[in-house]
A and B are shown apart, each in its own frame.
Chain A
């Protein structure tokens, strides 16, 4: 298991990816050195009693040479609002790397994602190099992700609910055909639960091994509080410690 650390991380910068989504890059050499795709980090957003708990974010990219890693988050509540105010040079207290990470032992992977679920998949794409990516969103403006994946991925397939970009529909509009014709030996999925459930079912039907990265409300991220416990392959597991990545057919509680 990866050694976890509490690290004082220097903010290198924040980039606005959409009106509410930010990419945050921090210098944190220990976490950057050991973070694998699928890992996440738990960021302290204030030193006051409120907001109290750390905010967990998937590792979205690592630059091991510079000792930096990035996270992508949506500004939703007080915690992420405060995080968005962090300036270059500010210091953030981060616990990581946390979780188990994806199993990379495959030859021809397909990455499938939507929304913020694409953040950990971006780092996965960076490490896999030239994987195909299928991403879905409600409309074209939600798929700004395609620019982030452009230099890392081989082919990028797009779907939008309203048909404003790519194929109209959800990722399920393309997935069964890609699985049948693409020769993939592994699918990695992260996104909203309905997307993950449907994509996992399609992979199981097509006989392609599939890993999903689950998201559940967690208070500690360390396996202590059991907020994120779920049932995997008939056994109790913790999303933060035993996951967040699980084999799709083993997930019994999404």
Chain B
């Protein structure tokens, strides 16, 4: 038997998904993982979360699809993907060669379609499905299911009915109270939560006097969103027992630690993959250093320490 990576100190179990490190990759920022094998060892990533996959291929949005913004970027790809058949027949066989959990982000245009995708992906080599109910860049589906608790519940129930895999629900930050959505997801049977998806934004080209993105609005990601993401994880962690995969602008181990301390059991790196394609592996090393510095045996010891009932924290409101 091969010794566990990093003596098992970074190993986590997220709703039955056994990860060697708690550092996963955000859907849509890591392709299908195979694009990064020149830069890092995929088996040293906690889980590879692949690009949003739908029943049929999708072309995505027209016009310019991405633009840099202060400490971040807006994207409006529109969930372009080659479809579930291509993923199953071409991509997954290649990914199976790596000993790493594969999480497939899925989306559909109706609860039934989400269920159909989940059923097709209920195969060996897929560790879990992540339900994308929060993409801000597609007109139907996506965000509707991410902002209405009843609609989200309908999707989650349909997916649960159609798969034997753990189901992760990816929450949108574009809501008034994210805890309502988190509770709805838990009640509907979701096994874990991931947050946040991108924040809605727009950039205007002042010379051309029109929006830069063909889709007008895009999803904001990168360091600019990190404090928002940490706040939302902190809030959600207090209302759910589900494990949380925290994400939003993580660029280094220190950033990741904010999420663990706020209650996330694992994290995902997203935009940082574009800048440093080996970052997921580097962050794992940074986490080990932190564990050493704080005399912790396992990363799980850090989870939630900053929460109101955590070890070091003051109550959120003490007046």
Contact = CB atoms under 8 A, between A and B. Distances in A.
A225 B72 contact: no
B223 A227 contact: no
A107 interface: no
Given A52-B73, A52-B275, A227-B65, A236 B35 contact: no
A49 B71 contact: yes
Interface in B212-267: 222-224, 251
Interface in A192-245: 217-229, 231, 236, 241
Nearest to B274: A220
A115 interface: no
A227 B277 contact: no
Contacts of B289: none
Name which of A5, A52, A221 has the most chain B CB atoms within 10 A of its CB. Answer: A52
Query: Interface majority SS on A: helix, strand, loop or mixed?
Result: loop
Nearest to B57: A236
B278 A49 contact: no
Interface residues of B, number: 36
A74 to B, nearest CB: 16
Interface residues of A, number: 28
Interface of B, helix, strand, loop or mixed by DSSP: loop
Contacts of A51: 68
Nearest to A253: B62
Interface in B53-75: 57, 59-60, 64-68, 70-73, 75
Contacts of B277: 6, 95, 220, 222
A186 interface: no
Contacts of A54: 274-275
Contacts of A222: 31, 35-36, 274, 277
A49 B224 contact: yes
A52 B36 contact: no
B66 A49 contact: no
A239 to B, nearest CB: 11
11 contacts: A4-B39, A5-B38, A52-B271, A53-B275, A54-B274, A95-B277, A220-B277, A226-B28, A227-B65, A227-B75, A228-B65
Interface of B: 28-31, 35-36, 38-39, 51, 57, 59-60, 64-68, 70-73, 75, 77, 80, 82, 222-224, 251, 271, 273-278
The 4 closest A-B pairs by CB, nearest first: A227-B66, A224-B31, A220-B274, A49-B71
